[in-house]
Structure 1
């Protein structure tokens, strides 16, 4: 007979990951006005509500924080770019002369989503970056600051959305690239430590994973 009725107004839209549907869906960002209704007829205003995120498919309402989670397609892109950047960083630290190292790097980058990646492309990118800024040249950038910034820029946005096993997997994958031609060099160890830091791994866990990677086929 009587109750609170909400009149919704759409103020924006976009795409998000719907937890209820389990996939990427369109959404409507909505605000509402609450009114006391009698026999379905609004009588007295009872303030505003929202904003909420309404799934266009299942109509479930979520808090706006749901938009902090990347869509599946966005997450895939972030992961692809992070693995690509890490592979380039390891190659820049250890060199691109080893065929085994290049093959391992190409395998990792392709598995992450760059299916057309080739060894020639990776070598060209490393050389182009060196020629462009000197960011990988010890005599120009002795502390590796620019390389560390590149790694953090690629990984930091991804890290909060990865499970611990996913973060560890990225580091081990990078370590296996470095180990493809023999033990870690000091430069490779430094780069891998930066990767572990960007992945929010405890230094002890990073050391453990780098040691474990030596025994992974």
Structure 2
């Protein structure tokens, strides 16, 4: 009977691109496909049975997945998002008052280089901080547009350009947070904390900047305060 009749799906490609394939465990090309189901008799598709898909089909393993998988960044994109996140957190700490201390600058450079910006220098970071202090708009080379208030009430940094930096933090961290495990989100916050603590206890502005980092990463206020307090008690 199975040889006499069955349901056959005819697939049609409607798009393509690159995605992270969970079956292959890496970045692969994909085809976005839709299909039509038909009852086949003696191998001939005759009676329509409705639509199939859309699905994402891996060009390597030919596995088919739901299109929600395209919401996850590729490995390359994820790495770039992570580098940008650490870079922006380091700038937030420097802009909150740490730029004037050599040990803080060195800690920031070391952290940013460790995140993947191997050519980062203290002069480059200071130039960006000065642009923020002058309230010239978005970070040079990162975003275009004008400064505006933060909907989450993050303009408590006090220094000129603080509201702009709060926007930068949310734009760099919020898209990344859903793709990080809790330990990963906490790790980014703690990297900022170690930069701030390089010259001693947090200043009020540094603490406020790190609180904004925690909020942008989706870490609760109590957990943020707990992590910052634990970092301050840990010997460097």
For the aligned pair, the TM-score class normalised by the smaller chain equals: over 0.9
Q: Which residue of 1 aligns with 2:144?
A: none
Decide which of 60, 65, 69 is 1:62's aligned counterpart: 65
Distance in 2, Cα, partners of 1:175 & 1:96: 14
Alpha-carbon contact 1:94-1:178 (below 8 Å) kept: no
Deviation at 1:210, TM superposition (A): 0.5
1:112 aligns with 2:115: yes
1:50 aligns with 2:47: no
Distance in 1, Cα, partners of 2:124 & 2:65: 43
- 1:1-217 to 2 correspondence within 5 Å? 1=3, 2-133=5-136, 138=158, 140=160, 144-214=162-232, 215-217=234-236
- TM-score, normalization by structure 2: 0.87
Deviation at 1:160, TM superposition (A): 0.3
- TM-score, normalization by structure 1: 0.94
Q: Secondary structure of the equivalent of 1:114? A: coil
| Mean CA deviation greater in 132-141 or 79-88 | 132-141
Distance in 2, Cα, partners of 1:45 & 1:162: 43
Gaps of 5+ in 1: none
Give structure 1 regions of 4+ aligned residues with deviation exceeding 3 angstroms. Answer: 134-141
Deviation at 1:130, TM superposition (A): 2.3
Task: Write out per-residue CA displacement over residues 87-128 of structure 1, whole angstroms, 9 at most, x where no aligned residue.
Answer: 001100023121111111111111111111111111111112
Aligned length: 215
